[in-house]
Amino acid sequence: MTSIKKNLSRYLSLSVSIFLIAILLATDFSVDTWISKEFDRAMINKASLLTTLISEDAEEIDFDFADEFMPEFSGKKDPEYFQLWHKGKTFERSKTLDLFKVNELPIINVPLHTSKIVNIILPDGRSGRMIVTKFIPQVDSDIREEFGISIKEFSKTQQPMELAYAVSNEELNQILWFVDIIFIISSISAVMVVRIIVSKVVDKGLMPLDELNSKIKEINLNSDLHSISTNNLPEELIPIANGINHFLSENKALYSREKRIASDIAHELKTPIAELLNLSDVALKFPHEKHIVDNYTTEVLSISQRLKSIVNGILLLQKSSSATELPKQTLNINEIITAILLRENKEDRKITLTINNGETLFTNEFAIDTILTNLISNALFYSPAHTDISITVAQHTGKKKIEISILNTSAFVYSESDLEHFCEPLWQKDASRTSSQRYGLGLAIVKSYCEKLDASLNVKLELENKIQFTVSV
């Protein structure tokens, strides 16, 4: 089972940690590079300084170096080293080289006027870096003027010199290691801090979900609480709360309807059962009464047929609510309505059938037959005997659906609020349920089959107490 909290914490921690580690790694690399470049630049500057102390005239090469100004080349504390070569032989070297058994720096051949930096082991055993450069000693302009020799002519006779300058890089390595350790500690700390912060932020962010869950647990179908308040909810949870509220309202309405249906079914079944019991009781008490015995079977048959009608209606309503896909075919609407009228219009009531357009219909035969049978049967039953009934079939231009309208004069006076209850199972205008032929299931079955056919059912009141049912399918 996946956890939103764990996944969210994991992904946020991982992404933020990678981002921070990438920044710290780039910073560490940049600092290491900068420190190394600064160290090399200091070496280059020191080597350049030493080369400026060398000058040459027509007679000799002079190295104007003083230990007192550069004690790092003569003392034992953190010594540095240099060595000069001229014509392949040592010209000068620092006093620090005389302090150790290894008193020569390695000479590396490099092109003239270039330099090279390499890692070496210093004479004192420490690790270090050495820069080697080859150059032409400088000649003072006063000397050139004195001898009357141009710099170009004088340089033809000059011999290049090599300079090696070495210094320990152990302190540099310690600094680099220190920076790396700081980076490692910072990375680990950052990951831990990010993990803690993200966990707390996620916990706090998901707290409204826990509160919403607590509110949902307080609701049940029998409670007075009908919806969840969205006043203090974050805007992201408001659509969820609205959806839950819609679900609750639908289920509460469904629950109330089912309770009413169960009560109504019990009431509808109770009456004929009570009649059967009373009739049987009378027949048993008075077995010699001829008129009771003669009417007994007829009464039992009549009551049994009423029970059968109620049960069949309930089963048909259940069947219409099933999820089974209904097969469809092309049907002639005129033939279907005509067959229904022959079957239902037993009193030869005047019914006008008008088909303006759309004689064929692609739908399920049983469903459309059940819908129209119930609507026509209701129109015949609930309208006065002397009134006409009008059935109109029309397909409007540009629309694919066919509208079947049934208009009749109602024997009852209905209000707009009554129309909302028409399709509720077992609802009757007559609250006392005096009718022994109608049980309030017909329109519920009609609505259920309309929903399965993706059709719509519309009911409206017309003038002169007329009522019109329209099915668009």
Asked whether residue 61 is domain-assigned, the answer is yes
Contact 453, 438 (CB under 8 A): no
Whether 392 and 305 share a structural domain:
no
Contact 360, 332 (CB under 8 A): yes
Q: How many domains does the chain have?
A: 3
Answer yes or no: pTM beyond 0.85: no
Asked whether residue 189 is domain-assigned, the answer is no
Q: Which of 297, 320, 343 is the last residue of a domain?
A: 320
Whether 381 and 402 share a structural domain:
yes
Contact 469, 375 (CB under 8 A): yes
Asked whether residue 185 is domain-assigned, the answer is no
Q: In what order do the strands lie in the sheet with 351-355?
A: 351-355, 389-394, 403-409, 466-472, 456-462
Asked whether residue 207 is domain-assigned, the answer is no
Whether 91 and 140 share a structural domain:
yes
Alpha carbons 395 and 17: distance in angstroms, whole number? 66
Whether 376 and 450 share a structural domain:
yes
Whether 456 and 339 share a structural domain:
yes
Contact 249, 219 (CB under 8 A): no
Q: What is the pLDDT of residue 65?
A: 84
CB atoms within 10 A of CB 212: 18
Q: Which domain holds residue 147?
A: 6-176
Whether 246 and 358 share a structural domain:
no
Whether 127 and 269 share a structural domain:
no
Asked whether residue 460 is domain-assigned, the answer is yes
pLDDT tens-digit profile, the chain (473 residues): 677 777 777 888 888 888 888 888 898 889 989 999 999 999 999 999 999 988 877 678 888 888 788 888 888 888 999 999 998 899 998 998 888 888 889 989 999 889 999 999 999 889 999 999 999 888 776 655 555 555 566 666 678 899 999 999 988 889 889 888 988 898 888 888 888 888 888 888 778 778 778 777 777 766 666 677 777 777 777 888 888 888 877 777 777 777 766 666 666 677 777 777 877 877 777 777 777 666 777 777 777 777 776 676 666 666 666 657 778 888 888 888 888 888 888 777 888 888 877 678 888 888 888 888 888 888 888 888 888 889 888 887 667 788 889 998 888 787 777 777 777 766 665 554 445 555 567 788 888 888 888 888 888 888 778 888 898 88
Strands 389-394 and 351-355: parallel
CATH number at residue 440: 3.30.565.10
Whether 460 and 411 share a structural domain:
yes
Asked whether residue 190 is domain-assigned, the answer is no
Q: Which of 259, 290, 320 is the last residue of a domain?
A: 320
CATH number at residue 292: 1.10.287
Residues whose CB falls within 8 Å of the CB of residue 93, separated by 6 or more in sequence, listed in order: 81, 82, 83, 84, 103, 104, 105
Asked whether residue 199 is domain-assigned, the answer is no
Look at the block and give the residue holding tokens 């049980």: 439
Whether 375 and 314 share a structural domain:
no
Alpha carbons 310 and 265: distance in angstroms, whole number? 8
Whether 364 and 466 share a structural domain:
yes
Asked whether residue 291 is domain-assigned, the answer is yes
Q: Containing H/E element for 163?
A: strand 161-168
End-to-end Cα distance, the chain: 45
Q: What is the pLDDT of residue 432?
A: 47
CA 213 to chain centre: 19
Whether 310 and 336 share a structural domain:
no
Whether 292 and 372 share a structural domain:
no
Q: Which of 253, 287, 320 is the last residue of a domain?
A: 320
Half-sphere exposure for 379 (CA within 13 Å, toward CB): 30
Q: What is the CA radius of gyration of the chain?
A: 54
